Amino acid sequence: MSKKIIAVFTGANGSMGYETGKQYSLKVTSLDKWNENEIRIERESKHPSEENNGCCDYGSIIAFLNNWDCIRNA
């Protein structure tokens, strides 16, 4: 199951290609259908120079929230 959101990155500038303070459209996917705590995010729009499309796995929703703010439905 996945969900599209819009969020502002608050993590370290340049981490996984994200810029601190910039808003991104993301797709959030649960990595385990039995344990929805682990999630993967990916940028919805990919720049040609990006290799991994900002793909990043988080072990918990708390870990995700430590790096993202102003989260809303897309």
- Can you count the helices (H) and strands (E) in the chain? 1, 5
By three-state DSSP, how is residue 64 classified? helix
pLDDT of residue 22: 96
pLDDT of residue 48: 62
pLDDT digits (tens, 9 = 90+) for 5-29: 999 999 999 888 899 999 999 999 9
What global pTM score does this model have? 0.85
pLDDT digits (tens, 9 = 90+) for 29-71: 998 777 668 999 999 876 666 666 889 999 999 999 999 999 9
pLDDT of residue 42: 94
pLDDT of residue 13: 94
Of the candidates 42, 34, 48, 47, the residue with the CA atom closest to the CA atom of residue 74: 42
Give CA–CA dist 48/30, Å, rounded.
Answer: 26
Backbone angles phi, psi at 49, to 5 degrees: -85, -10
